[in-house]
Amino acid sequence: MNLNFTKIKGIYQFGMFLLTGITCLLVVSISSCNKSSSTAGNSSVAIVDASPDAPPADFYVNGSIANTVPLVYGSYISYIGIVSGTNKIGFYDTGTSTAIALDTINLAASKTYSLFFNNLVAKHDLLLVADTLVAPPSGKASIRLANMSPDAPGVDLVVGGQVIVSNKTYKQVSSFKTITVSDNDTLKIVQTGTSNLLGVINAVTVESGVVYTIWLNGFASGANGYVLHASLMQNTVF
């Protein structure tokens, strides 16, 4: 679908979500005038940092910085306008020319994506996912589950005591599912088919018309002290 950007509120939002709730850090207006091998029209890309040992990072597109605040583990930048087509992207140690991860992404015209930066830096994975953002039914919200833990088992998303998404393994991202709004909800990520809690976000105000992504970070093994936990992104508000 072609996204009607005039319907989106809070775009270009930089946010970080903690286990105990949601804390909005900053709203950043970012525009991209980068050159690329492109087709007509711009794309829009959210950047998610799920790499536990990555230092605070700057995100570059075709040699130009695209953030004003360092990107840190468990945080995100939501939706940067990028010229469609082939783009060179990179994560750099903040304020330096030291590359953390470099790659090339291909973006279709007028489409929306999320780019997940995963795993330890030495083994980093970059996952580009197309986002289909549609308004939830009246009085409802929607949410999807992303498993960004390299060694976690299949995981389920439980909201309001109900399994909303089932059996997502590493680098799998579900479609968006409709959920009921709530002033004080608990979002749980559990091992598939069990009550084994792997990540939780407590005291969440789930708002009507909002589209969310919840993702699992860290390692089931607790490698290097990076244990599992959940993070939450507000994709957009209709």
Looking up residue 210, the CATH number of its domain turns out to be 2.60.40
Query: How far apart, in Å, are the Cα atoms of 168 and each of 83, 147, 172, 195, 213?
Result: 31, 6, 6, 15, 14
Of 96, 130, 164, the one marking the end of a domain is 130
At residue 49, does pLDDT exceed 70?
yes
Least confident of 9-23, 37-51, 94-108, 160-174: 9-23
Residues 113 and 15 in one domain: yes
Of 111, 130, 149, the one marking the end of a domain is 130
Query: How far apart, in Å, are the Cα atoms of 204 and each of 17, 143, 196, 201?
Result: 10, 13, 20, 7
Residues 91 and 185 in one domain: no
DSSP code string of 127-146: EEEE----PPSTTEEEEEEE
Residues 176 and 60 in one domain: no
Query: How far apart, in Å, are the Cα atoms of 229 and each of 13, 74, 192?
Result: 22, 9, 16
Domain annotation covers residue 183: yes
Query: How far apart, in Å, are the Cα atoms of 228 and each of 77, 89, 151, 192, 218?
Result: 21, 27, 10, 15, 4
Give yes or no for a contact between 45 and 82, defined as CB atoms under 8 angstroms apart: yes
Residues 80 and 157 in one domain: no
Of 112, 130, 148, the one marking the end of a domain is 130
Whole-model pTM over 0.85 = no
Residues 41, 200: Cα–Cα separation, whole Å: 38
Residues 122 and 161 in one domain: no
Q: What residues make up the domain containing 208?
A: 140-237
In a 13 Å sphere around the CA of 8, the CA atoms on its Cβ side amount to 19
Domain annotation covers residue 135: no
Stretch 30-57: mean pLDDT: 72
Residues 49, 181: Cα–Cα separation, whole Å: 27
Least confident of 16-20, 121-125, 138-142, 205-209: 16-20
Residues 9 and 126 in one domain: yes
Q: Which two tokens stand for residue 158?
A: 């439980």
Residues 100, 124: Cα–Cα separation, whole Å: 9
